[in-house]
Amino acid sequence: MTSDGPVPDSALRRDIRLVTTILGETLVRAEGQELLDQVERVRAHSKQDTLAALPAVDLATTTKLARAFTAYFHLANITEQVHRGRALLEARERDGGWIEQALGRIQEAGIGPDELAAELDNLGVRPVFTAHPTEVARRSTIDKLRRVAALLEEPDSPQRTRRLEEAVELLWLTDEIRVEPPEPIDEARNIVYYLEGLSAGAVPDVLEELRDRLGEYPSDRGVDLPVTVRPLRFGSWVGGDRDGNPNVTPAVTRSVLELQAVHGLRLLQRLVNDLRRDLSVSQRVSEVSAELVERLDAMLPELPEVHPRYRRLNAEEPYRLFLTCLHVRLQLTEERVGLGEAHRDGRDYRDDTELLEDLLVLHRSVVEHQGEAVASGELERLVRTVAATGFSLATLDVREHSRKHHHALGQLLDRVGLDTPYDDLDRSARLQVLSDELAGRRPLAARPLPLDEEGRTTAGAFETIAWALETLGPRVVESYVISMTRDADDVLAAVILAREAGLVDLGSGVARIGFVPLLETVEELEKTEAILDALFSDASYRELLRLREDTQEVMLGYSDSNKAGGIATSQWQIQRAQRRARDVARKHGVRLRFFHGRGGSVGRGGGPTYDAIMALPSGTVDGEVKITEQGEVISDKYALPVLARQNLELTLAATIEASLLHRTDRRSPEEAERWDGLMDLVSDHAHRRYRQLIESPGLAEYFLASTPVDLLGALHIGSRPARRPGADAGIDDLRAIPWVFGWTQSRQIVPGWFGVGTGLAAVTEDEQQAQELRRMYRAWPFFRTFLDNVSMTLVKTDLDIAERYVALAPEPLRGLLDQVREECALATGQVLLVTGDDALLDREPTLRTTLEIRENYLEPLHHLQSQLLERHRDGQEDPLLERALLLTINGIAAGMRNTG
């Protein structure tokens, strides 16, 4: 059950030939026959492994070659997406949809309708689009590719061919490189682009499918999905993620929220207007409820903006007149948000709950008087869309580094007279001070708070949240994420700053947002139980949780834990951390919601979503999955409507299935003890081997010299700096995205597999233990998913290509590649030993074939990039040289389907 199902090979090859032939014709028209001939010469030499024999070409030609190969990958990728969508639809016709299949397994397990219905109350899937936009393709490029995709779905005709030629020519004429880095508001517009499309199409489609399949569940009348439940919602970090991004200020956060609200309100206006055209029920033919008439009579006098024409023409069509009122109120709400004015009762909407109440009045009337056939159509789709998206399309999470909270709070507490300066307190003393402070009710200072500039910016985020909740409603911001949470005091510091902004008042029963510790290093993951136990044991914090339905959200960071400890230890510690968190929460009567901070690449927690959810520890899903979506993953999953629907449905299905069928460990107690012990052994040895490499003398210089990581900033793919403020040139302060980016571009891909071979070999030395690992692979989803993801990165690794990059490093450091080669060979052999396969990805022949085909086009780009990097390292400062390099980066990212 995966969204990456097989595609009809011959049809796919036919369409790739079609679009790439058109690309070749475009090159001839735009640049001349010589460029196409040069492309073919380079590609032919790649197959013969004689690229080094090719004569060097000038920068202008190199630039055009890089663009040509990049365009090929873009067209091949979008064609594969189209065929993947077709294959998924065929599989749906043959086997049923993801939700249908999941409910079938739930039924087979003996789960009754009442138990299933109870689980729906907790169901909440939330993809979160993050402020880590590692998608190198510009939206202008993505728009052109979506046009190609739409045309490929049309029947073959001369007209279609002409339009494809137009689309490909425009793709070639569009510059792939951004002139300037995007600002956070630009990133927000990009996310809104996806959210609007999802809210208008895939979201109501998937929720309708869930309703219909539940209605068929064996029972007297199926299982009901109330129209007010919210099984699917979206989140965003864009404009709220302040950690290390000085460009995200309180003013920027406010602007992003206003942007989201304006787009969300305009979308709802369009949907309400569409329904108004459809719902032409006449009182002369059918009745309406007294409740609706009363509500309409109350609204109309408050809305002089409702044109007399509508009052006259729709006098006998109360539903249309009612929806006209809703449309006007949405317009007035948009005006209020844009002007920053206060809410006006009876005119604009305070928040989406008021709109939902009006829509439910309409829904009840239609159910009662016109029946389910009308009520369950477009009206119900609108109700469910509003319940899912609210006014702002997505809920914005706000994140800040724990150090920032202590910096601000220390200034306030020192003013009120601590016995010891705040900065001099150790963690236990600081925790006691903060606990005592939270238990009291005094304000620490009058507003504006007496803080330095940095402190004012930190505190200003909480004031912006308070404004947002007051202006746009309680769903616009729900979670405040504390990155680098090392102990409970890091969470309490944020709570007290929120209290100063009026977001928390325990004495008055106010807790308007939740506080989310982000555990993102190996050390923090190991301390999960201690951190949460300390929080839950604090009476004031426990009261805060009670006010928030006894629910604690915990975010798990896959990227930084991998960067510090290697993939085996990262994945295992995250698995262990979830179990520890689950157990301590149960002890305190707290319900946990896990937020999985996964990246697009395997080295940052990526991989097939269904497999990832099913591999989570038993009892940790509990109806809810919150998971980041970033980089190329967003366009890959959501750019095409058919794939957007399939991916959302798949995630919902996996969440329901994991919640109901995996409440307890699927392993026996003996297996659990034995397999956990073996995984501890794998992790320990893998971690030591990984740290040996990372701590090797000169590793930072080797990484910077043998990869194009120093050029990532010039790509202008995001507003956040590649390093944390004040960082040096070493690796420790380098962010996880450039870390993965550099290794991926040079095809070493160390974060995706290094150390795994050593870890497995430590166990397989004993044949009995080797047999046990094979059983683990067959029967334990976590271990199987882990090794399958490692297999995929090993296939993408090419150390012969990497050697060209390593030749750019100082001679004494080049021996580090020998370590990488040795571990790569060991990892490959050990993975095959455990899986029992003859070759990597034996079980995924389509994926393996796709990767092999891509190599014929990737090889020339790597060749060009390594040549250009050599000139760049020699100090040549030609803007055309940097542009050519950036284009090769774009092409390799497109070919690898991954940047970082």
Q: 132, 327, 404, 662: which is the annotated catalytic residue? A: 132
126: which strand partners? 626
Tokens 């550099």 correspond to what residue?
742
Task: Calculate ∠ Cα 70-76-78, nearest 5°.
Answer: 105
| 250: preceding bond cis by omega (within 30 degrees) | no
Identity of residue 579? R
Residue type, 862: H
Q: What are phi and psi of 878, to 5 degrees?
A: -105, 120
Query: Who's near 767: CB < 8 A, 6+ residues apart?
Result: none
What letters, b where the CB count within 10 A reaches 16 and e where it falls short, cover 617-640?
bbbbbbbbbbbbbbbbbbbbbbbb
Q: What's the rounded Cα separation, in Å, for the pair 487 and 542?
A: 16
**Greatest CA span in the chain, whole angstroms?**
90
| Count of all residues that appear for the chain in the document | 900
Three-state secondary-structure class, residue 121: coil
d(CA 697, CA 816): 10
Q: Examine the residue annotation and report whether 47 is marked as an active-site residue of this protein.
A: no
Q: Give me the helix-helix angle, 488-500 and 402-415, nearest 10°.
A: 60
Residue 713 tokens read as: 């900033």
Residues 599, 603, 604, CA angle at the centre, nearest 5°? 25
Integer angstrom CA distances of residue 730 from 65, 180, 309, 727, 743: 34, 26, 70, 8, 15
Nearest Cα neighbor of 769 from 829, 830, 826, 827 is 830
Beta bridge mates, 699: none
Encoded tokens for 543? 């009261």
Q: Is 64 a catalytic residue?
A: no
Copy the structure tokens of residue 814.
């080049």
Residues 567, 603 contacting (CB under 8 angstroms): yes
User: CB–CB of 501/463 below 8 Å?
Assistant: yes
Tokens for 688, please give them: 């030591």
Q: Which two tokens stand for residue 171?
A: 């793709």
- Contact indicator for 785, 760 with CB cutoff of 8 Å: no
Exposed, middle or buried: residue 59 (CB in 10 Å: 0-12, 13-18, 19+)?
Answer: middle
Taking the C-alpha atoms of residue 758 and residue 194, their distance in angstroms, rounded to an integer, is 42
* Options 563, 637, 863, 872, the catalytic residue: 563
- Name 476's Cβ contacts closer than 8 Å, sequence gap at least 6: 257, 261, 390, 391, 392, 395, 396, 468, 469
Full DSSP string of 741-804 = HHHHHTT--GGGTTTHHHHHHHHHTSHHHHHHHHHHHHH-HHHHHHHHHHHHHHHH--HHHHHH
Distance separating alpha carbons of residues 112 and 12, to the nearest angstrom: 43
Calculate ∠ Cα 584-586-589, nearest 5°. 115
Helices (H), ranges, 473-601? 488-500, 522-526, 528-537, 539-547, 558-565, 567-588
Catalytic center residues: 132, 563
